[in-house]
Structure 1
Amino acid sequence: LSLSVSLSLSLSVKQVAFSASLLASGLGTIGPFNTETNLVFRYIFSNIGNAYNPNTGFFIAPVRGAYHFEFYVYGHGDPSHASAAALFKNGEHVCIAYEHQTSGAGTSSNGATLLLEVGDVLFLRLWGNCKIFDSVNHHSTFSGHLLFTM
């Protein structure tokens, strides 16, 4: 019995994937703020393994392994403010998606595959003096999944 319980737990923790859009409903722009601001992606497409918390915006690695993350940042053109968000691991900058145009609209994206230890925390921050837009069309998203355990 303990072997089957152990095997079941082992299999369930190897199934980790999430995808979320910024706004839970409606449409709107977040920012600009004069400092970096944590983003919380509240509309959940999937959260297999429940490693992503839609109340804090934090992904917390449940198992040591290689994970892949990607994010898309949408913004309306603005002469003064770009649209940008950065991926952070345990509070340290990993990469940024950034775009700036004076009119129209645009999307930027980025991603990374990272070796994470149990308890490592990943999240996105809105870059200082920038903004991000989302609507029911889910323009701005944050996703990640476990590729394999190590």
Structure 2
Amino acid sequence: MMKVAESFLLLLLLAASSFMVKSSTASESHPRDVYEALGEMKGEIRHLHVENKEQASELHRLKKQQQEQAAKVQKQHAEMNKLKEQQQGRQVAFSVAPVTKGEFRQGPVNGLTTLIFKHVQTNIGNGYNKHTGVFTAPVRGAYHFEWHVGAHGDNRHPSAAVLIKNSEQIFMAWERQAAHFGTASSSVTLLLEVGDTVFLRLWYFSRVYDNRNHHNSFSGLLLFPM
């Protein structure tokens, strides 16, 4: 807009000069009117120049404000994602059993053997690995574990499983059922560090039996982080 006004002013000056040459014998009021118009035009151009500078300054201010707001929103999103990840890490619970259908028999064994529970009923936080039978603590905190061992009628071999923390034997569930069916149970609360492992092992010379009723199970949950 500034360039258009300047061009128009130049055209007016040229026209005024031509008019003054051709009308030198005319009344003296005509050049005065032209100069007055040119003066008004110059004033208008100065006004437009100031107005353009003000608009440019306002546009720059708005652009800077928009950038600051965008940075603030991005920071808020990052903080929300961080809080969400922390909250998800504090939601831990699992409950598993040996089989989904059919029957399951293992043992008797001559040494400690890890029990792998492939039927995953719940695994919030994905701390339990159904391929290894091992639970790995995702956060430091107090965890509670429960396990049940189904004892099928066998007067020679008990049904027993011991809870292992890393390589330490904690508590055992043990039962010997001469006939029919019985169940042994145990539970414990442990303080775990990030990366600690917890799993069950079949005890020496013992055996377990299970079916779709899930007499054998292994469960754990995070009580609170620390």
Provide the identity percentage: 49
**Matching residue of 1:9:** 85
TM normalised by structure 1 equals 0.97
Q: Secondary structure at the match of 2:183?
A: strand
Alpha-carbon offset, residue 23 of structure 1: 2.0
1:138 aligns with 2:214: yes
Q: Which runs of 4+ in 1 moved over 4 A?
A: none
1:109 aligns with 2:196: no
Query: How many aligned positions are there?
Result: 150
Alpha-carbon offset, residue 57 of structure 1: 0.3
Q: How is 1:1-150 mapped onto 2 (pairs within 5 angstroms)?
A: 1-150=77-226
Alpha-carbon offset, residue 28 of structure 1: 2.4
Q: Secondary structure at the match of 2:111?
A: coil
Alpha-carbon offset, residue 84 of structure 1: 0.3
**Contact 2:159–2:176 under 8 Å retained in 1:** yes
Q: Secondary structure at the match of 1:138?
A: coil
Write the letter of the residue equivalent to 1:42: K
**Matching residue of 2:9:** none
Write the letter of the residue equivalent to 1:89: K
Q: What are structure 1's unaligned runs of at least 5 residues?
A: none
Deviations 1:106-129 (A, max 9, x none): 100001000000000000000010
Alpha-carbon offset, residue 67 of structure 1: 0.3
Q: Secondary structure at the match of 2:148?
A: strand
Q: Secondary structure at the match of 1:8?
A: helix
For residues 81 and 73 of structure 1, what CA distance do their matches in structure 2 show? 13
Q: Secondary structure at the match of 1:85?
A: strand
Higher strand share goes to which structure? Answer: 1
CA RMSD of aligned residues (A): 0.8
| Structure of larger gyration radius | 2
For residues 159 and 191 of structure 2, what CA distance do their matches in structure 1 show? 28
